Amino acid sequence: MFVESKGFTTREESLNYSVQGLLDTFGRHRISMADAEKFGRIDKVVKGRKTVVRAAHQNAIANIVYGGDWGRENLGNTQPGDGWKFRGSGDKQITGRENIEASGFSPEQLRTDPVASATASADFFVKHGCIAPAERDDVRGVTLKVNGGTNGLTDRIAATTAAKKVFGL
């Protein structure tokens, strides 16, 4: 959760991706080059400083990468606008109509209520089989269960190591 929530500083997914970031993160099977160029953030370096030329169209990005056939099959997003409405929410960044409804909380509750967020995140952790790999200190195994890939694995390992040190584990 540390990585998803940017160090527990946000409970709402940012879809502020650059054109290349969209393609690297989601792949062309989830967003076309044309849509990445149309909706992704465009940056420009001026005198060594990066400035935003065009902000990302986060609503459109969410509806593309979490919508369509993929969103319907993997997230239960069945209605127009579900990608944005059910974007990552809470400390765990629970994503999709099916997952968020299973939490028993609304997306807004997950984004604004720390108790709802923590409760839903813990429930997701248990329901998705994360306890066994966590007990083995298998950060990669937990990561695969949480989001199906290994993005942010180095940061997750560092955060786990730091947390264990704080708690004397």
Tell me the β-bridge partners of 52: 43
Q: Six-digit token pair at 8?
A: 């527990």
Residue with tokens 């909380």: 105
pTM: 0.85
Instruction: Write out the DSSP string of 18-66.
Output: BHHHHHHHH-TTTS-HHHHHHHSBEEEEETTEEEEEE---HHHHHHHHT
Q: Is the dihedral of CA 167, 7, 152, 69 positive or negative?
A: positive
In this predicted model, what pLDDT tens digit does every residue of 110-154 receive, in sequence order? 999 999 999 999 999 999 999 999 999 999 999 898 877 887 889
Residue with tokens 């465009």: 42
Residue with tokens 């390992």: 157
What's the pLDDT score for residue 155? 86
Which residues have a Cβ under 8 Å from the Cβ of 69 and sit 6 or more positions away?
Answer: none
Say how many CA atoms lie within 13 Å of 139 toward its Cβ: 18
Distance between CA 49 and CA 62 in Å, rounded?
28
Task: Name the region of 17 (left: φ>0; alpha: ψ -120 to 50; beta: rest).
Answer: beta
Question: Exposed, middle or buried, 45 (CB in 10 Å: 0-12/13-18/19+)?
Answer: exposed
With a cut of 70, list the residues of the chain below it in pLDDT.
none
